Amino acid sequence: MSFKITTWNINSVRLRIDLVAKFLKSARPDVLCLQETKCPDDAFPLKRFHRLGYEYSAINGQKGYHGVAVLSRVPFERFDVHSFCGKTDCRHISVVLGEKAGLKDPLTVHNFYVPAGGDEPDPEINEKFRHKLGFLDEMREHQSLRPEKSRAILVGDLNVAPFEHDVWSHKQMVKVVSHTPIECEKLNAVRSAGNWIDTMRVLTPEPEKLYTWWSYRAMENWKISDRGRRLDHVWTSDALTDRVSDIQIAKNYRGYERPSDHVPVTATVEL
């Protein structure tokens, strides 16, 4: 059974619902994980998703900032939300798919929106950067993110490009938030602690460049300059080793009218 899951920082689900609909009609993933929905739960455009065939939803949102959601064509067994750093800022939601979805063995999907961290990579003077580092530390220690022998997928905007070729220029980006050594070290520690597999880099090994985000500051020439970063990730537990058959980065969605600065990333998993 082929199972498709998409992760996308949509940067306001209501503002870009038409773009989301365009993607869903074309790609038809089984599960869509959105980040930065910027929408309280009672205002989420569920009716539009239902018309598109995504009848099942798990939402963790708030007005104007952050927010994550999982939309699915198949039912969940249950969903859960975890808070980090003592804040209820809507940065995580997980769902469990099982018999109701036609799966013999359960599958847990974690959807994360890690804090961006602001502009200055110094936790002593930048509270946003301090929050980001603390968030990553708590992810590393969180028992629910240690799937051991169970089947699990962790996706989302993790806001760190951890490897040299996850950015357009390692030399110029090494002191820029999202690619500093301490952020890369902490994100890789989260992955190692849970024995997660970075499936994007398994299928596309370094030194090949791999990006999922292009800054709004280069609206007109983003494609020509191609100064991207890989901020969006797909990790799988050890139990799903070799089960990801394909990952597609829909780069063309960065070029549509009023796009998100992130593009959809879709993994196909053989379950």
Distance CA 208, CA 165 (A): 7
pLDDT band at 256 (very low <50, low <70, confident <90, very high): very high
Query: Taking 90 as the threshold, does the pLDDT of residue 223 lie above it?
Result: no
Give the number of C-alpha atoms closer than 13 A to the C-alpha of residue 244, restricted to the C-beta side.
Answer: 28
Is there a contact between 66 and 36 (Cβ–Cβ < 8 Å)? yes
Read off the pLDDT of residues 72-129 as tens digits, 9 standing for 90 and up: 999 999 999 999 999 999 999 999 999 999 999 999 999 999 999 999 999 999 999 9
Q: Which of 51, 88, 59, 64 lies closest to 76, judged by CA?
A: 59
Sequence-separated (6 or more) residues with CB below 8 Å from residue 119: 126, 177
**Nearest in space to 212 (alpha carbons), one of 162, 169, 157, 255:** 157
Q: Is 128 exposed, middle or buried (0-12, 13-18, 19+ CB in 10 A)?
A: middle
Rg, Å, the chain Cα set: 17
CA atoms within 13 A of residue 94's CA, in its CB half-sphere: 16
pLDDT band at 241 (very low <50, low <70, confident <90, very high): confident
Q: Are strands 92-97 and 78-80 parallel, antiparallel or unpaired?
A: antiparallel
Q: What are the angstrom distances between the C-alpha of 120 and each of 123, 126, 162?
A: 8, 6, 18
At 24-69, the pLDDT tens digits run: 999 999 999 999 999 999 999 999 999 999 999 999 999 999 999 9
E strand or H helix at 229, and its extent?
Answer: strand 228-229
Q: Report CA torsion sign: 260, 68, 103, 106.
A: positive
Predicted confidence band of residue 217 (pLDDT cuts 50, 70, 90):
confident
| 248-253 average pLDDT score | 97
How many angstroms separate the CA atoms of 184 and 87, rounded? 23
Closest CA to 27 of 248, 207, 206: 248
Residue pair 225/218 in contact by the 8 Å Cβ criterion: yes
Residues 215, 119 contacting (CB under 8 angstroms):
no
Indicate the domain borders of the chain: 2-270
pLDDT band at 135 (very low <50, low <70, confident <90, very high): very high
Q: Is the peptide bond before 207 cis (omega within 30 degrees of 0)?
A: yes
pLDDT reported for residue 219? 65
Element (H, E) at 96: strand 92-97
Q: Topology of domain 2-270, per CATH?
A: Deoxyribonuclease I; Chain A (3.60.10)
Helix (H) or strand (E) run with residue 270 in it: strand 265-270
CB atoms within 10 A of CB 22: 13
Q: Please give the Cα distance from 116 to 122 (Å, whole number).
A: 13
